[in-house]
Amino acid sequence: MTKRLYHENSYIREFKATIISCTPYDNNYALILDKTYFYPEGGGQPSDSGTIDNWEVLNVIEEEGQMLHIIAQELNHKNVECKIDWNRRYDLMQQHTGQHILSHCFLELFNGKTDSFHLGDNSVSIEININDFDHNRCNIIEDMANEIIYSNLPISAIIVHEEELQKFPLRKQPSVKDQIRIVKIGDIDYSPCGGTHVMNTGEVGIIKIIRWEKLKESYRFEFLCGGRALKDYRYKNTLLLSLCARFSVKDYDLDKVLIKLADENKTLRKDNAYLKRSLIKYEAEELYNQGEVIQNTKIIKWIFKGRKIDEIKLLATEITSHPRTISLLGAINDTAQIVFSRSDDVDIDINLLLKTVLPIVDGKGGGSSKTAQGGGNATQNLDNLIEKAYNLVLSKI
């Protein structure tokens, strides 16, 4: 049985151990050591990483009571040098301790119980069972959490038996019945937990909630502590300074400038859409005038190059607003794109017409009896497709 020493001292970075066994495991190898400071995956916290005799530790897991250290190489010798990735370990300790503090604050301030906790390499989140939340409540929570950090309260852990639990004001009930580990923050928070934590709240540095979202009966909060919060602030401050320099404004005026630009852009987009629609109406009229009249029906066929499909659809709509009109339009972009349309008074099934000719460009598509669109990869055959559709129309009118 492996001695689990990470609970005794989570600040150990290097140690020596003896290999008890080394067995194949999912295309890798699983080492069982006589003792370990590597934390295994569990309780919402990922496992430690590091090296064993310079071989990367890919994962540390617990299976059937055994601690498995997963590496890519089989090791046949007994004694090994183990090194924990300290930067990652300390980051996880900061985040996990921050979660305890934040969960305590939610419970104290808003009677919000923590439903779940997720700690990843890039994000950390908790789900809190509360009905309402806003920016004002966020400020209140953050102020209390960071006041606990500034108080530099000691953090310790004790192992108790089930019958002793009533002595402690637990924030939540444990999921195990034997050798229950209680993590204690000063005299304010007692929580069953098997994870690794810093020795005092001051080491958490800072807690910052960066976003939240409403779930069915709770809220999910994403937050950052310590080094992660510093990196996040560094990135956002660099971005803020860059934007301020770009628009030649102070940081407290940036939001006003961006709102003004957004409003101006919205107006320009409306104006542009109006002008584009006017131009398309004019272009549609030109195409209509160039169409052939056969059996009292105007037929317009045209192929564009590099034209957006939305514009072609608008052209088809404008063209077939005239009575007794059929529009057969195509475009060559990365693929061959086709839009067929007719006016209400023409008795031709446009959807059937399109599906009849689409195999010419190895295409797919469909629509209604009045308008349909499709596309295919054989752009070189688009001319043949339009001509085939044109001849089919002639045979039906």
The DSSP secondary structure of 144-159, one letter per residue, reads HHHHHHHTT-BEEEEE
Which residues, 6 or more positions from 348, have their beta carbon under 8 angstroms from its beta carbon? 326, 342, 393, 396, 397
- Judged against a pLDDT cut of 80, whether residue 177 lies above it is answered with no
Note whether 330 and 309 are within 8 A (CB): no
Considering the domain architecture, whether residues 94 and 231 belong to the same structural domain is answered as yes
Per-residue pLDDT, averaged over 203-218, amounts to 96
271 within a domain of the structure (yes/no): no
Half-sphere exposure of 51 (CA within 13 A, CB side): 5
Note whether 225 and 206 are within 8 A (CB): yes
Give 42-52 pLDDT, tens digit per residue: 888 999 999 99
282 within a domain of the structure (yes/no): no
- Judged against a pLDDT cut of 80, whether residue 176 lies above it is answered with no
- Judged against a pLDDT cut of 80, whether residue 368 lies above it is answered with yes
Per-residue pLDDT, averaged over 5-25, amounts to 95
Considering the domain architecture, whether residues 77 and 101 belong to the same structural domain is answered as no
- Amino acid at residue number 11: Y
Considering the domain architecture, whether residues 220 and 293 belong to the same structural domain is answered as no
Cα gap 300→392, rounded to integer Å: 14
**Site of tokens 């498995």:** 68
From 84, 105, 124, the end of a domain falls on: 84
**Average pLDDT score, the chain:** 94
From 54, 84, 114, the end of a domain falls on: 84
Per-residue pLDDT, averaged over 134-139, amounts to 97
> Which pLDDT score is estimated for 73?
93
**Can you give the residue range of the structural domain that contains 49?**
3-84
Considering the domain architecture, whether residues 229 and 96 belong to the same structural domain is answered as yes
Per-residue pLDDT, averaged over 127-139, amounts to 96
> Which pLDDT score is estimated for 164?
83
Give burial (CB, 10 Å; 0-12/13-18/19+) of 284: buried
CATH code for the domain of 66:
2.40.30.130
361 within a domain of the structure (yes/no): yes
Which residues, 6 or more positions from 254, have their beta carbon under 8 angstroms from its beta carbon? 240, 243, 244, 247
From 235, 267, 301, the end of a domain falls on: 235
> Which pLDDT score is estimated for 91?
97
247 within a domain of the structure (yes/no): no
Per-residue pLDDT, averaged over 85-98, amounts to 97
Q: 3-class SS at 64?
A: coil
- Judged against a pLDDT cut of 90, whether residue 332 lies above it is answered with yes
300 within a domain of the structure (yes/no): yes
Per-residue pLDDT, averaged over 136-155, amounts to 98
Long-range contacts, stretch 49-55, CB < 8 angstroms, 24+ apart = 49/84, 49/85, 49/88, 50/82, 50/83, 50/84, 50/85, 51/82, 51/83, 52/80, 52/81, 52/82, 53/80, 53/81, 54/81
Cα gap 326→342, rounded to integer Å: 4
DSSP 242-274: HHHHHHT--GGGHHHHHHHHHHHHHHHHHHHHH
pLDDT band (50, 70, 90) for residue 25: very high
> Which pLDDT score is estimated for 395?
93
Considering the domain architecture, whether residues 99 and 216 belong to the same structural domain is answered as yes
Percentage with pLDDT > 70 across the chain? 100
> Which pLDDT score is estimated for 162?
82
Considering the domain architecture, whether residues 35 and 152 belong to the same structural domain is answered as no
Q: 3-class SS at 363?
A: strand
CATH code for the domain of 304:
3.10.310.40
Per-residue pLDDT, averaged over 156-177, amounts to 85
Per-residue pLDDT, averaged over 231-251, amounts to 95
> Which pLDDT score is estimated for 121?
87
Q: In what order do the strands lie in the sheet with 371-376?
A: 292-294, 297-305, 325-332, 336-342, 371-376, 363-367
Considering the domain architecture, whether residues 72 and 114 belong to the same structural domain is answered as no
154 within a domain of the structure (yes/no): yes
Give burial (CB, 10 Å; 0-12/13-18/19+) of 12: middle
123 within a domain of the structure (yes/no): yes
Per-residue pLDDT, averaged over 288-304, amounts to 94
Considering the domain architecture, whether residues 219 and 305 belong to the same structural domain is answered as no
Give burial (CB, 10 Å; 0-12/13-18/19+) of 312: buried
Considering the domain architecture, whether residues 131 and 195 belong to the same structural domain is answered as yes
Q: Which helix (H) or strand (E) holds 52?
A: strand 50-52
What domain count does the chain have? 3
> Which pLDDT score is estimated for 279?
93
370 within a domain of the structure (yes/no): yes
> Which pLDDT score is estimated for 42?
86
Considering the domain architecture, whether residues 58 and 112 belong to the same structural domain is answered as no
Considering the domain architecture, whether residues 116 and 210 belong to the same structural domain is answered as yes
User: Facing residues of 5 across strands?
Assistant: none
> Which pLDDT score is estimated for 53?
96
pLDDT band (50, 70, 90) for residue 56: very high
CATH code for the domain of 192:
3.30.980.10
- Judged against a pLDDT cut of 80, whether residue 306 lies above it is answered with yes
Note whether 367 and 264 are within 8 A (CB): no
> Which pLDDT score is estimated for 163?
80
Structure tokens at 114: 């923590």
Considering the domain architecture, whether residues 70 and 96 belong to the same structural domain is answered as no
Note whether 148 and 168 are within 8 A (CB): no
